[in-house]
Structures are given as C-alpha cells and as structure tokens.
Amino acid sequence: MGNNEPKKRLVGLWRSLHIAVWLIGLFILAVKNWWWPGILVLVGISVLLEGFLQQYAPQAYEEETPSMPAPPPAPAPPVTPPAAVSAASAIQEHRVELLPQSCPNCSGPIRGHEVRWTGPNSANCPYCGTNLPMSKA
C-alpha cells in the first residue's frame, strides 16, 4: 500500500473473525502460560489472516474516510454596553452596592456595569450566567 492510497479497514463478519482469532489466541496463551513466543505466533497468524483476506476476499475491506477537523468555535458576540444609560441612573435603578465582589460559581470579578440585571435587586454573572446572591442591606 503506497502513501497515496487511502487506508482500508476490515468490516462486518471479517472484522468479527479477526477479533475472534485474537481472543481465542489470547485465551490459549493465558491457559498455557506461553506468553513470550506465543504472542509472536499470534501476531504472525493475524498477519497471515489479513494477507489471506486481502488476496481472496477484497470485499472484506472498506476505505476509511478521512476525518474532517472540527470546525473552529464561533466567535463570542461582542459585549455591548447598556444602551444610553448613564452610571448615575444605573445606580439609582439598580442596587450595585448589594452585588458580591466575585461570582460564587465561576469566581469571576463582578462589576455593576457588566452584570445582566434581571430586576432591581437581581443580577446574573456576565461570565457564567449564574444568578448572583445579593447582600442584605
């Protein structure tokens, strides 16, 4: 097989036959405690079986399709600041002082202008989306 030819692998009943030869061979080696030269004999039998199948049963092989690399992950959407809301109105509307210093789930730093507010006293972590526990005021 040249470098330009696609790799082939056993399929169906032929693959099962090859596996059975190995399992039976390993069982015999374990029962007889004949590991050292026995494993070489088993490898030789396996090679002879594959050569026989390539010669007399070419339908036993199918070409492997080259695996396609995984597509790169989609870029994260850009973080956009809140629409025309001044910091003063955000402090009055949302209780920034009740936010924890870091997220209890992902340990990310919490800043009032980065969190996603879900209510006047409720916000989600900008990194993992966990609902943040608010301090008692």
pLDDT in tens, 68-93: 676 777 777 776 665 545 544 444 56
Q: 119 pairs with which residues across the strands?
A: 122
Does residue 53 sit in the same domain as residue 100?
no
Backbone angles phi, psi at 43, to 5 degrees: -65, -40
Domain count, the chain: 2
What CA–CA distance (Å, rounded) separates 13 from 19? 10
Backbone angles phi, psi at 116, to 5 degrees: -100, 110
Same domain, 19 and 56: yes
**Residue 14 forms part of a structural domain:** yes
In a domain, 83, yes or no: no
Tell me, what's the pLDDT at 88? Answer: 47
User: Among the ranges 40-49, 106-115, 128-137, which has the highest mean pLDDT value?
Assistant: 40-49
Confirm if 94 and 86 have CB atoms less than 8 A apart.
no
pLDDT at 83: 53
Which is it for the CA torsion 24, 40, 14, 16, positive or negative?
A: positive
